[in-house]
Amino acid sequence: MEISLIRHGRSLHSGNKRISIKEFITWAEQYDAHGVVEETRYPLLTVEKVNNANMIFSSDLVRSIESARLLNTQVPSSSIPLFREAQLPKFSCNLLGVKLSPNFWVVLLRCLWILGVSRECESYREAKNRSVMAAKLLISNAHKHSRVVLVGHGIFNYMLAKELEKRGWKSSTKTSSKHWSCTTYRKL
């Protein structure tokens, strides 16, 4: 039995100009609404795991659905909100007009989220509980289908990896946040 966690491809929505925290909310919504860059090549291990899968899952966000489709058009994937990326807190104030790159806002907001700030979003604890349910669903399907793949998101895949490890699943590699990366967990 194995469960492979794959991070979606690079988003079509880019832009690294400095923006306010208020503008970041719109930027993040656009990031969620856009698809991914179609690559000329994908990592061989990632393609191999998807092509050998008996069941493929993705989150219901466009970048995850499109990534699963680009990797394999033969095996249908099931898109489930349970596998969505953990949300970031939202701030509607201007924070003294501070403007930062979107990547910097992501890091800053993710740190605040881990520390317990969950304004207008799922809390860290709620996301952790959701990762427990998601791990149980993947494990259940691995028992039925032997080889299961999830095309998901960076932080949530990391949380899932921790849950799989708690349940005795092993991987020879660490979970990566690199686009198209694949980490496979096995239960012996």
Q: What is the pTM of this model?
A: 0.93
In the chain the domains, ranked by start, together with CATH numbers, are: 2-186 (3.40.50.1240)
Non-local CB neighbours of 29 within 8 Å, separated by 6+ positions: none
Pick the range with the lowest mean pLDDT from 12-16, 32-36, 128-132.
Answer: 12-16
Q: pLDDT tens across 122-171, in order?
A: 999 999 999 999 999 999 999 999 999 999 999 999 999 999 999 999 99
Whether the pLDDT of residue 77 is over 90: the answer is: no
Q: Could you give the CA distance from residue 184 to residue 188 in angstroms, rounded to a whole number?
A: 13
Find residue 100's DSSP bridge partners: 19
CA 123 to chain centre: 16
What's residue 14's pLDDT? 79
Contact 31, 1 (CB under 8 A): no
Q: Could you give the CA distance from residue 157 to residue 155 in angstroms, rounded to a whole number?
A: 5
